[in-house]
Amino acid sequence: MLTPHQELSALDSEQNPRLSLIPSSAGQLICPADDIFNADAVSLAIDNAIADVQDPAQIRMAVVAILQKNQAEGRAAIERAFSETPLTARRVTRAYVHLTDGLVQQVLRVAATRLHPNPTPTEGERMAVLAVGGYGRGEMAPFSDVDLLFLTPWKSTGWVESVIESSLYMLWDLKLKVGHATRNIKDCLRLGREDFTIRTALLEMRHLTGNAELSAQLKNTLRKDLFDGSLSDFIEAKLEERVTRHKKQGGQRYMLEPNVKEGKGGLRDLQTLYWIAKYQHGVAQAEDLVALKVFSRDEFDAFDAAERFLWSVRCHLHAIAGRAQDVLSFDLQVQVAERMHYADHSGRRAVEHFMQDYFRHATRVGELTRIFLTALEASHAKSEPKILGFLRGRSRKKKLKAGYALKQNRLTVENEAIFLSDKINLLRIFEEALRTGYLLHPDAMRMISANLHLIDYAMRRDREANGIFLDLVLKQGNPERALRRMNELGVLGAFIPDFAAIVAMMQFNMYHSYTVDEHTIQVVSTLAQIERGELVEELPIASAILKRGVNRKVLYIACLLHDIGKGRKEDHSILGARIARALCPRLGLKKPMRPRRSNGWCAIIC
């Protein structure tokens, strides 16, 4: 039986294998186009209704009434089809673009031909109307903004201003949230240089109606006079914007009420990758990055799956709320999970399975971002990272051990075949990264992720492998960094299989702020901070206890395993104790001479 996110991949990829970063007319819709908006029929109805009407106010009222009816019918058709196939978001986003295109084009047609007829426009009265931003990209949720650029060759004329004003009044009467600007080509160049948000919106412009030659002239001028030669500045601006956005959203990928659009690992992160790729390579679709060797096919498939899943979630959020809604709050999580056909099973609620899928996609988005940015560094489009933490400011760096190499100031291996001939190296590389302070290069991360099958039963029982794992937690001073990267790459779950079950797991209650695995890693991190004396003022009692001396190995393993039994039918403390009984001897712990009623050291851990 396919899970909902697997079903999403099968359905949407089969029916439209290309990404949705294209105009709505280029891909399939969730239902027949004429069921959403039949332009010919609507035009005929409008023309018949206003044929003998002369008063501008009455013309506007008649047009809005007809368009409101068709708007409601189009939305209803999309919603019905989406409820039947609730995981095919691409066709839904294109369907809303198709509906919006029809509404905007009809409004502009009436404004230009009936409200303000001008049979012989001058050269200066040429006008093009372009969709920009997400609307220009061809992606819209049910209540996304409608961003329009009214483009003129020179200064706006009275006729142009009248057409725009009448059009906007009708669009507002249709309850559309319209963002608009009237500019000429010089204005676009000037403002694009000054404001990277405007520049990004112009990057995604799409001609809607009016003078097509004017639109083409703007596109060519922007590429030649603005985009070309300014890639590095654009990248740095978008990445700075991304950091600011993440901080505003809480700075964590695993917040239990995430913002699907703006949060870490959300749609905006994927769109940022696409913006940079389009700016650099002029790609029409993210899939083109495979041919450019920025992503492997598997990595693009992960990009593809995450994009489709997140858009499905966002469209359902809008539909449930009846307005623009991007925060996946607790009350809405249940409804979205139900709409996406998740079910209770294995002792966990449907909403918890749904949110686990969400966080797994968010994690993958983070990995893809690292890979993409490193590819940019390789092409010298982005500056390389500085060495981390304790090596900052030092003139001498620690020498790498044999078999390792630096690539773009990141740690990788000299020879992959030799490295993989000893499977314990899959742990040693994390030890080397902590020892030297270098980040792992995406090539190394790709290699690790592709060879998790080497972490087998024999390796998990190997004394040296377990010793290295314990050293990562106990001896390098920064266990959080190693555990988080091992978790993101699947190593932690492969080495401790019971940990894999709690990866990206959320608990649907008000007492937890993070997923179980993230909470666990933060607990270990906090213990390390206490031990380093960094939390004496905040946690004086715990700090004093650690100073007096405790069994560090027991304490760290206890923190690592304290929630490992979560998410099963059985009480997690009982199951956790049973897991600890099996796992702790492997990690070097021994039972006390006189075990307590709760089975020895299991009481300490669980």
* Residue 48 identity: N
Handedness of CA 316, 320, 323, 324 (dihedral sign): negative
pLDDT range class, residue 6, cuts 50, 70, 90: very low
Per-chain mean pLDDT for the chain: 85
Predicted pLDDT at 61: 96
Could you give the CA distance from residue 512 to residue 255 in angstroms, rounded to a whole number?
A: 9
Q: Would you say residue 171 has pLDDT above 80?
A: yes
Among residues 271, 282, 277, 286, the alpha carbon closest in space to that of 223 is found at: 282
CB atoms within 10 A of CB 158: 9
Handedness of CA 347, 352, 358, 360 (dihedral sign): negative
Across-strand partners of 327?
259
Q: Per the structure block, which two tokens stand in for 133?
A: 């931003």
In sequence order, the 6+-apart residues with CB closer than 8 A to the CB of 313 are 260, 328, 336, 340, 358
**Residue positions counted in the chain:** 606
Predicted pLDDT at 602: 45
pLDDT, one tens digit per residue, over 439-467 is 898 889 889 988 999 999 999 999 999 99
Predicted pLDDT at 7: 40
Q: Would you say residue 272 has pLDDT above 50?
A: yes
Across-strand partners of 179?
147
Q: Would you say residue 288 has pLDDT above 50?
A: yes
Mean pLDDT of all residues in 116-125: 87
Predicted pLDDT at 244: 86
Q: Would you say residue 527 has pLDDT above 60?
A: yes
Please give the domain boundaries of the chain with CATH numbers for all domains. 31-84+88-228 (3.30.460.10), 235-272+288-378 (1.20.120.330), 496-606 (no CATH)
At which residue do the structure tokens 């001058």 appear?
A: 122
Could you give the CA distance from residue 578 to residue 586 in angstroms, rounded to a whole number?
A: 14
DSSP annotation string for 257-270 = S-BTTTSTTSHHHH
Lowest mean pLDDT among 86-90, 118-122, 130-134, 164-168: 118-122
Q: Would you say residue 21 has pLDDT above 60?
A: no
Interior/surface letters 184-220, b for 16+ CB within 10 angstroms, e for the rest: bbebbbebbeeebebbbbbbbbbbbbbbeebbeebbe
Q: Per the structure block, which two tokens stand in for 154?
A: 């020179």
Q: Per the structure block, which two tokens stand in for 345?
A: 């099973």
What percentage of residues in the chain have a pLDDT greater than 90? 51
Element (H, E) at 78: helix 56-84
